[in-house]
Amino acid sequence: MRLLLIGGSGFIGPHVAAALVRSGHLVTVFHRGRTHGSARPLPSGIHEILGDRRRLSESATTLRTLAPHVVVDLVLSSGRQAHELMTVFRGAASRIVALSSCDVYRACGVLHGSEPGSLEPVPLTESSPLRTGLQTYPPERIRMLQQVFGWLDDEYDKIPVEREVLGDADLPGTVLRLPMVYGPGDPLHRFFPMLKRMDDRRPAILFEEKHAAWRSPRGYVENVAAAIALAATSEHAAGHIYNVGEAESLPELEWARLLATATGWTGDLVTLPADRTPAHLRAPGNLDQHWTTDTRRIRQELAYTEPIDRDEAIRRTIDWERAHPPPIDPGAFDYGAEDAAFR
């Protein structure tokens, strides 16, 4: 098959490209030419087309001439972008695969305080209610996220993206709702705060009680990429939505235990009530709202399984985090306040 990956040269894309090339497919990556793999370069033999997805129509002739069987758009930010995507490829491609996020669920809005009402039952299945408010994050948070994710536009919201991609009578779509993705190249360095404390040989790592128990979906980047490659090459995926992520949404404290095992750290993991937890360790939001997701559909319908086991995934992520630490914010590592709270 001929596949086009829009935004395929960042954190996740090179792994998708590698999985597709390994299976004998022809892959083209569309991007601006600024990012060449966050941690893994694009595999050799990949065709690249340079252009800007914010002005996708300007590249329409080149992209349509390619006549891809499937277009995987890794970096759709808004309904407007998705509408333009469908317009460009209608009549030129057979299917669109869009990366979405678990942030479409109402549970995300309950956690962030933007959705009124009761807690959402978990696990979240593909038919769980979506947010009623069509703004995922307030403008100041969008601006902060744009510093990390250059593809995010001011209208960021995956709900209208999904509607456009699944609502076209002539061009079928597939939507993949991604979990929090970890691995080499993670732009958010999700493991780093715990890893640094373990490498600094802290005697104890503190958690606010509710944060320790909070469950959210996660997926290792190569495993998420394998799910994307599978959905892109499975005809059966047309018209479907799939949650992607590990089978079990572990609590934060369990992730800390796994990291402790992997690093050999032997300190104490300590949970504290909110009023005794140092301010820099308090997680915002309604942590009674878990984000546990049900990923059985992609496993049952597309026979998805993770190619990399979790222990190996954690080892690879730790190795990369140690070699590529982010800039340190001293306020986020106020060990004095942590010692005082623990005493």
Contact pick of 22, 41, 52, 113 for ligand NAP (by CB under 6 A): 52
Residues 74-113 contacting ligand NAP, CB under 6 A: 74-75, 99, 101
The DSSP bridge partners found for residue 328 are none
Which of residues 166 and 178 has its CB atom nearest to ligand NAP in the complex?
Answer: 178
Binding range to ligand NAP, per CB under 6 A, among 33-41, 86-94, 122-130, 252-260: 33-41
Q: Does residue 181 bind ligand NAP (CB under 6 A)? A: yes
Q: Which of 35, 114, 125, 263 binds ligand NAP (CB under 6 A)?
A: 35
Q: Which stretch binds ligand NAP (CB under 6 A): 6-14, 59-67, 163-171, 259-267?
A: 6-14
**CB closest to ligand NAP, residue no:** 10
Nearer of residues 189 and 202 to ligand NAP, judged by Cβ: 189
Under the criterion CB under 6 A, does residue 131 sit at the interface with ligand NAP? no
Q: How far is CA 44 from the centre of its chain?
A: 25
Q: Return the exposure string of 233-263: e unless at least 16 CB atoms fall within 10 Å of the residue's CB, then b.
A: bbeebbebbbbbbbeebbbbbebbebbbebb
Q: Does the footprint of ligand NAP cover residue 243 (CB under 6 A)? A: no
Cβ 263 vs Cβ 315: under 8 Å: no
Selected range binding ligand NAP among 177-185, 227-235, 295-303, 327-335, rule: CB under 6 A: 177-185
Based on CB atoms, which residue is closest to ligand NAP, 85 or 269? Answer: 85
Shortest gap between Cβ of 284 and ligand NAP (angstroms)? 18
Task: Note whether 151 binds ligand NAP by CB under 6 A.
Answer: yes
Q: How far apart are CA 289 and CA 254, in angstroms?
A: 17
Residues that bind ligand NAP (CB under 6 A): 7-13, 31-35, 38, 52-54, 74-75, 99, 101, 149-151, 178, 180-181, 187
